[in-house]
Amino acid sequence: MLSLEQVSYYPATASRPLLQQVSMGVKLGHMAVVAGASGAGKTTLLEVVAGLVRPSHGRICWQGKPMGQRQRHRRCGLVFQFPERHFLGLTMGQELRLGHHRLTEEHQSTVLTQVGLNHVSPKLPPERLSGGQQRRLALAVQLLGNPQVLLLDEPTAGLDWSVRESFLQLLGQLQPGRVLVVATHEPQLFAPLQPHCWQLQNGQLKPC
Ligand SMILES: Nc1ncnc2c1ncn2[C@@H]1O[C@H](COP(=O)(O)OP(=O)(O)O)[C@@H](O)[C@H]1O
Ligand SMILES: [Mg+2]
């Protein structure tokens, strides 16, 4: 179980706290949807959980034990909003190997199968993939580290309807054995996956 206990974040560069005593728990095999308007603090929340930034107060725990920044980094895979804009590899295979220089063919094939890209040539440049396939590639990159917590920032943004449907199905398949946290301004799309729904407003989190 992933739990946040009274997490606050008030960076020196902000005029107000971006997160205020945020508490939530998500059990293994479950999904939490954090909904909220633009500027509510959704991305900030994911970044704090992922260990990219240190909270000002509060604890982030795994199975009841507080995790430091490095532990969070190791345990969490964060897929940014529009991840395809940040691809650096010239081919799909290169993109996968960027942070994993010793990636074996077998491991590569396992993650590509997990995300449904096993039929696509790893020699293909990422920009030649469709929008949905690019999102799958970004997920595959994170799955290489076998994260127990998968954090997804606006995973359906910019995808058309049919692509969204199949991407949501994929998220459902990735759920067993993991904790999924989705930040989105369109929470209703995730209803078929029966998530626990939270609302973030001005850095304050409430169940909804
Ligand atoms: N390091 C920072 N310093 C100051 N303000 C920040 C910082 N990071 C984010 N913000 C501000 O915090 C608010 C919440 O941002 P964000 O987490 O991106 O919200 P959301 O993802 O819900 O749109 C925004 O107003 C943003 O400009
Ligand atoms: Mg955001």
Range of the domain at 46: 2-207
Q: What integer pLDDT is reported at residue 99 of this predicted model?
A: 87
Ligand nearest, relative to CA of residue 49: 1
Q: What integer pLDDT is reported at residue 97 of this predicted model?
A: 97
**DSSP notation for 164-182:** HHHHHHHHHHH-TTSEEEE
Q: How far apart are CA 44 and CA 110, in angstroms?
A: 31
Q: Is the CB of 38 under 6 A from ligand 1?
A: yes
CATH number at residue 34: 3.40.50.300
For the chain, 208 residues long, give each residue's pLDDT as a single digit of tens.
999 999 999 999 999 999 999 999 999 999 999 999 999 999 999 999 999 999 999 999 999 999 999 999 999 999 999 999 999 999 999 999 998 999 999 999 999 999 999 999 999 999 999 999 999 999 999 999 999 999 999 999 999 999 999 999 999 999 999 999 999 999 999 999 999 999 999 999 999 9
Which chain residues have CB less than 5 Å from ligand 2, an ion? 42-43
Q: What integer pLDDT is reported at residue 177 of this predicted model?
A: 96
State the DSSP code for 136.
Answer: H
Residue owning the nearest CA to atom 13 of ligand 1: 39
Report the nearest atom of ligand 1 relative to the CA of 185. Answer: 22
Q: Which two tokens stand for residue 27?
A: 């059990």
Amino acid letter, 151: L
What domain count does the chain have?
1
Amino acid letter, 150: L
